Amino acid sequence: METTKYFYRNVMFSKNGKKISLIDIYNPDAEAKELEPWLGLVLQLADGQHTIDELFQYMANLYNGNPPPNLDDTVRSVVDRMVKSKFIVLTEKATELPYYLSLPYELMDVEKAIKLIEKDKVQSN
């Protein structure tokens, strides 16, 4: 894995306390898919403005300078799983997230988000 790459989320999420779930904006009352804590943390951090190297540094700092020896392997595994699932995308340069991916569902203006999603769909066709 190229750790100098930037990473950004490619899915919408809901945040309820420490619980992070994937959400369907068109059917928000459907049962949300709760993510494992590690996946949820990385998804929240996937803002397109930070590299995988910065993710490693951030995670190490959570352990006050004494990270467990397997931390790098764990983070790599989580990132790999999320890339394969297309929950996050790796890029060569920083990426600005569209409004509807930039915030947890609970903080966004849902009508605005849906309009922007529809606009992006039209432009990509």
Residue 3 CA to residue 111 CA, distance in Å, equals 36
Question: Which distant-in-sequence residues (6+ apart) come within 8 Å of 77 by Cβ?
Answer: none
Closest to 97 measured CA to CA, from 33, 27, 48, 56: 48
Q: What is the Rg, in whole angstroms, of the alpha carbon atoms belonging to the chain?
A: 15
27, 66 Cβ separation under 8 angstroms: no
| For residue 101, pLDDT beyond 90 | yes
Rounded Cα distance between 117 and 123, Å, is 10
Whether the per-residue pLDDT at 124 is higher than 90: the answer is: no
Instruction: Evaluate if residue 8 carries a pLDDT over 70.
Output: yes
**pLDDT band, residue 125 (cuts 50/70/90):** low
CA of 4: how far to CAs of 1, 7, 20, 44, 50, in Å?
A: 9, 10, 26, 19, 9
Over residues 37-95, the pLDDT tens digits come to: 999 999 999 999 999 999 999 999 999 878 999 999 999 999 999 999 999 999 999 99
User: Is the distance from CB of 35 to CB of 20 less than 8 angstroms?
Assistant: yes
Whether 12 contacts 65, CB under 8 Å: no
- Whether residue 8 contacts residue 82, with contact meaning beta carbons closer than 8 Å, is answered with no
